[in-house]
Amino acid sequence: CRISEPGRHQHRDRLRRVPLADQRALALDAGGARQIRRAFIPAPGWILAAADYSQIELRILAHLSQEPVLITAYKQNQDIHTVTAQLLFESDTVTSEQRRMGKIINFGVVYGMGAAKFGRETGVKTSEAKIFIEKFYERYPGIFDYLERVKREAIALGYVETVCGRRRYFRFESGKLRGLKGSDPNNIDLDNLGNLGQLDAGYLRAAANAPIQGSSADIIKLAMIEIDKLLEQYQAKMLL
């Protein structure tokens, strides 16, 4: 087991790595993934139980960005991927394929996905994918403002924080970025930084993602501690 930079546990051998029924990801026949999962059988008298948070990173993004559309959707128990698809396609009714595109862009934004990758994931042209992403930020301005603010803080402070106060530090390569350390984040104009190197551009994407993914890792680890205490009352053990 190792801890990734955002704070997640990473295991080479774990039940979470067992494939789900997703033909696009697996290139298996329709029931192939389910058949693989059936191979994991508990000992006689035991059961396998799974517990997870639903869309935890998007919920954290809603909290951190205070984006009204996201907050309202979750408070009203709406399907957030359908909501995004409705906004992008400007329609009250969406197809399953349109919802899938909404899901891809929702999670993709958390990881700093650009137009090229969105195009590959959805099968649309890069030019069209760029329009979708621009429209996404128009519909969710609070998300865009939040991600930009975190990038400025990473440059000015040299680190970003999770909701639990855990920090991830960044050491930028560009002298221009290093020279902005210690400055007021509100005075940093990201549009005037010029062409950043691939390394620094990656650092900024990671900085925007770190409070979201890192907070998710913090919350889940705290939950695992509480679940472990709960399981002491039963004949049970935790598997990752």
How far is the C-alpha of 227 from the C-alpha of 9, rounded, in Å?
16
How far is the C-alpha of 213 from the C-alpha of 171, rounded, in Å?
20
Respond yes or no: is residue 52 known to be catalytic: yes
Helix axes 80-89, 96-110, angle to 10 degrees: 100
Indicate which residue of 13, 22, 29, 52 is catalytic. Answer: 52
Q: Is 167 helix (H, G, I), strand (E, B) or coil?
A: strand
Fill in the amino acid letter for 106: N
**H or E element in which residue 168 lies:** strand 167-169
The CA-CA-CA angle for residues 216, 139, 217, to 5°, reads: 5
Could you list the active site residues?
52
